[in-house]
Each structure stands twice: as C-alpha cells, then as structure tokens.
C-alpha cells in the first residue's frame, strides 16, 4: 500500500463511511499479507471515527476467536464461540449492536471504560473466519448505519483476500 489515506472526519457518519469505503477498497491488496491488510483497516477506522475507543479483528481458530490486528488498549486474547459479544456474533453468524454493554449478559470487559459495541462476523461459505469488533466510550455509539457500512467493508475484505490461506497458529 503506497497511496495516501485522506479523510475529513468532521462529517456525518454516512459521509465519513462514503469517503472511507473506496479508500479501503484501494488500500486492501491481495498481493500483501492478510495480517497487514487487516491492520491497515483497523487503523483506517480508528483514524476516521472519534467515537471508536477500540477496533480490531478476532480470527477464528477451532471455534475460538484469537486476537488479531487492532488499534486501542491491550485486549483479551482468546474468546470461545458463544462467549461475550464477539463469541455470540460468531456463534449466531450475525452482526450484534450493543447500546449498553452492561446490559449484554456475558459481555467481556477488556476495558472498563467501554460503554457500547458492535461486532460484525466474517463469514466464508457459511463458516466464521473471524469478527470485526468496535468499542466506544459513548453509550449507543453504533447503529444500523454502522452495521450497513461495516458489513460492506467485510464484503470487500472477503472478495479481495483469501482467508482460507491464512493460518494464525
């Protein structure tokens, strides 16, 4: 990736996503390692949205989610499918929006300042390859707009990267 990443992050969330998504499409390259691509996607998201306190990928290994590239504070490393917001998203194979993490049974608190969260699964041929997790220090930071655009970002990643070739361990 050599292009400059340019974002004016003072607009509305949809405006920011509309600038971000074509640039994610251009910075993600099948020629480069998946881990490098995912690292840049987390940096791009963190750079764009002040509401994000933590953003990262957890990648699936044997029904467990292992901490991948992220931006933010130190986080828990292994989350079994079915546990926490991430594991629940992986088990149900659906995006989960949590407006108040204290009201989500089993929420895993890596950062006690975190108030709300969204988790988007990465699904390949019906199997979960990982999840994208975003946290915020603000209640109700994420909504259907984030779901719509983050799912588009995941679709770009799935279309351009070969997750099947990727081995975390």
Binding positions for ligand SME, rule: CB under 6 A:
54, 75-76, 79, 84-87, 107-108, 110, 114, 117, 133, 135
Token output for 115: 């108030």
Nearer to ligand SME, 27 or 117 (CB): 117
Nearer to ligand SME, 69 or 84 (CB): 84
Token output for 129: 């390859």
Least separation in angstroms between residue 13's CB and ligand SME is 20
Give the separation between CA 51 and CA 10, rounded to whole angstroms. 12
Nearer to ligand SME, 5 or 104 (CB): 104
Nearer to ligand SME, 1 or 61 (CB): 61
> Residue of minimal CB distance from ligand SME?
84
Least separation in angstroms between residue 27's CB and ligand SME is 23
Instruction: Assign 123 to helix, strand or coil.
Output: strand
Least separation in angstroms between residue 38's CB and ligand SME is 15
Phi, psi (deg, nearest 5) at residue 123: -115, 125
Least separation in angstroms between residue 101's CB and ligand SME is 7
Token output for 14: 């949809």
Task: Count CB-CB contacts under 10 A for residue 7.
Answer: 14
Round to the nearest angstrom and report the end-to-end CA distance of the chain: 25
Max CA separation in the chain (angstroms): 43
């Amino acid at each position: 990736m050599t292009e400059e990443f340019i974002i004016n992050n003072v607009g509305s969330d949809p405006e920011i996503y509309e600038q971000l998504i074509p640039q994610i499409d251009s910075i993600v390259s099948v020629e480069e390692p998946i881990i490098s691509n995912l690292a840049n996607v987390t940096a791009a998201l963190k750079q764009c949205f002040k509401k994000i306190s933590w953003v990262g990928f957890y990648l699936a290994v044997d029904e467990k989610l292992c901490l991948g590239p992220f931006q933010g504070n130190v986080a828990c490393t292994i989350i079994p499918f079915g546990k926490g917001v991430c594991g629940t998203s992986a088990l149900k194979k659906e995006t989960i929006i949590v407006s108040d993490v204290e009201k989500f049974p089993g929420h895993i608190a890596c950062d006690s300042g975190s108030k709300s969260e969204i988790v988007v699964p990465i699904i390949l041929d019906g199997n979960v390859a990982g999840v994208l997790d975003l946290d915020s220090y603000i209640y109700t930071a994420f909504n259907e707009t984030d779901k719509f655009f983050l799912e588009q970002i995941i679709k770009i990643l799935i279309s351009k990267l070969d997750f099947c070739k990727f081995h975390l361990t």
